[in-house]
Amino acid sequence: MRKRLIPILLALAGLTACQPEEFTDAEKATIASLSLSALPPLPADTTNRVADDAAAAAFGATLFFERRLSRDGTVACATCHLVDRQFQDDRPRSVGLAMTDRRAMPLAGVARAPFLFWDGRKDSLWAQALGPLEDAREHGGTRAAYAHFVAATFRDRYERIFGPLPDLAGVPAAASPLGSDAESAAWEAMPDDKKREIDTVFANLGKAIAAFERTIVHQPTRFDRFADAVAAGKAPEGDAALSEQEVYGLRLFIGRANCVTCHNGPRFTDDHFHNTGVPPVDGLPDDTGRAAGAKKVLDDPFNCLGAYRDGSEEACGELRFMVSQGEELERAFKTPSLRGAAARPPYMHSGQIATLADVVDHYVRAPASVSGHSELKPLKLSDRERAALIAFLGTLAE
Amino acid sequence: MNRRSILIALAAAALLAAAAFMAVRVMMTPPDGLDLARSKASARGLYAVTIAPEKEPLEQGPLHSWILTLKTPDGAPVEGATIAVGGGMPQHGHGLPTQPQATAYLGDGRYRIEGVRFNMSGWWEFTFDIKAAAGDDRVVFNLAL
């Protein structure tokens, strides 16, 4: 009896080993799909004719760091998107002229996102750049003021890229449909063709900034070197090696913990919006995420179907076929990339969760959403497994 | 006796762990024996429907188009159909991430379905509600990505 049991026992022990030496073919394919090496070339953006123009990118970089592109000369894009901090600011909620309601997103690979902001309320990088410029708590300026500023300060650089600036005589110093009451009134008083000229200048500033932002890319990490070695059938060594704990975390990430369901592909994001039951922040206005964002992008005059797009409408598939209503949009927020995430707490759209350990705890508990339905299901992870997942995320940040 | 009961207990624990492991695998992956046919009859048998991605291989991530070919059971192309597209991931309880539409009739019973994206790997249902001269019918395809 005993003699018969032992081989069975050995066979079962083999079946249930937590860390078999070799990855399965399916695991290898998933690991390879997460490597930066699997990232296709950046597609052209036909809606922005200067998207890959070097002079436009250089001008965009100037604008990105230009504090005078704000109401009081104190706020640049780089104020919240810090160049040495993965183009984010380490704060739960960003502070421009005042504190906003949302966490600044890092910018690497941002040109590949079909929708921008946590709620996807913009559908191109150039349209995205226009939002903060006029947000009262961010740059707080107006499109008319920016047109005057460019004419006075950067006329040559602008005109070499975009052609002649319009005649700004008679254009109010500050005017925007999104401005204060006085600024909105000033905008309304402008003739339509002048509004259109100013909007074109404004959109062009976004297009130059987008040309710069297209150059901000992810750098290969230790995980990428590991993944490339695994994909090539080589033993990962030296700066490609992962510790046993990190490999265990990777197995959980692509397996039982289900992280890879949404954090997939070389950027570790499915570019979609999910309700994961992240709690609202006390004292902030209700934030329904994608439910509001979808409406905003449809109404945005600078969206792909609007008058300021270059190229043909064929580029507008994302907007044309967007899901614009339904319960799945309620409190859904964009899946952030996990590249570099270990080095940039806090987490979630308003910085609700302070540490990666707390993030993992959130996914283990899977709390219900205050409205809509969380897509999370409770997980069972031991302390050892939680630590392994966090260790694995570290390999994406070094 | 004592050693034997320890062995039995160990074996039982290993079996349980193996079962749990398999259960997790089943949750993660499409069910065994899922019908992945890309040609099938609609539910009431009014139409023979074939679908194919406009470009192979089918990729997870990018927005892309499919071609749906609609015929009667005896093989005659069906023109002038209205086709509503839906679907989702039964194991995750959510719908498609986009709202695909039939945007063009290409002749010979072929319709272009634009705006499709599969943002996750796993089992997807792809559903077409068809209105045409023969009547209303529905067909559901399974895809495994």
Same domain flag for B25 and B71: no
Average pLDDT over residues A250-272: 97
A9 located within any domain: no
Give the per-residue pLDDT at B30. 84
Same domain flag for B22 and B55: no
Give the per-residue pLDDT at A206. 98
Same domain flag for B63 and B105: yes
A125 located within any domain: yes
| Whole-number percent of chain A with pLDDT over 90 | 94
Q: How confident is the model at residue A98 (pLDDT cuts 50, 70, 90)?
A: very high
Same domain flag for B88 and B111: yes
Average pLDDT over residues A343-352: 98
Same domain flag for A149 and A174: yes
A306 located within any domain: no
Same domain flag for A276 and A389: yes
A299 located within any domain: no
| Pick from B61, B94, B99: CB nearest A321 | B99
Same domain flag for A236 and A377: yes
Same domain flag for A171 and A106: yes
Give the per-residue pLDDT at B93. 86
The model scores a pTM over 0.95: no
Q: How confident is the model at residue B3 (pLDDT cuts 50, 70, 90)?
A: low
DSSP structural state of residue A341: G
Same domain flag for B107 and B125: yes
Same domain flag for A197 and A147: yes
Q: How confident is the model at residue A225 (pLDDT cuts 50, 70, 90)?
A: very high
Residues of A in contact with B3 (CB under 8 A): 2
Same domain flag for A247 and A157: no
Same domain flag for B81 and B14: no
Last residue of a domain, one of A182, A213, A244: A213
Q: Over 60: is that where the pLDDT of B29 sits?
A: yes
Same domain flag for B76 and B120: yes
Q: Over 60: is that where the pLDDT of B26 sits?
A: no
Same domain flag for A239 and A115: no
Same domain flag for B139 and B108: yes
Same domain flag for A136 and A31: no
Same domain flag for B24 and B48: no
Same domain flag for B67 and B131: yes
Average pLDDT over residues A100-104: 98
Same domain flag for B67 and B9: no
**Which CATH number fits the domain that encloses residue B45?**
2.60.40.1080
Same domain flag for A118 and A153: yes
Residues of A in contact with B94 (CB under 8 A): 328, 375
Q: What is the C-alpha to C-alpha distance for residues A74 and A95, in angstroms, rounded to an integer?
A: 11
Q: How confident is the model at residue A4 (pLDDT cuts 50, 70, 90)?
A: low
Q: How many domains does chain B have?
A: 2
Average pLDDT over residues A170-178: 98
The parent domain of residue B130 ranges over 39-144
Q: Residues A301-324: pLDDT tens digits?
A: 999 999 999 999 999 999 999 999
Give the per-residue pLDDT at A13. 47
Q: Over 60: is that where the pLDDT of B1 sits?
A: no
| Pick from A6, A16, A318: CB nearest B17 | A16
Same domain flag for A63 and A108: yes
**Which CATH number fits the domain that encloses residue A110?**
1.10.760.10
Which one of A123, A321, A322, A331 would you mutate to disrupt binding with B, by most B Cβ within 10 Å of its Cβ?
A: A321
**Is ipTM > 0.95 here?**
no
A232 located within any domain: yes
Q: How confident is the model at residue A8 (pLDDT cuts 50, 70, 90)?
A: low
The parent domain of residue A239 ranges over 20-39+220-284+330-394
Which one of B89, B121, B123, B145 would you mutate to disrupt binding with A, by most A Cβ within 10 Å of its Cβ?
A: B121
Same domain flag for B57 and B83: yes
Same domain flag for A156 and A196: yes
Q: How many domains does chain A have?
A: 2
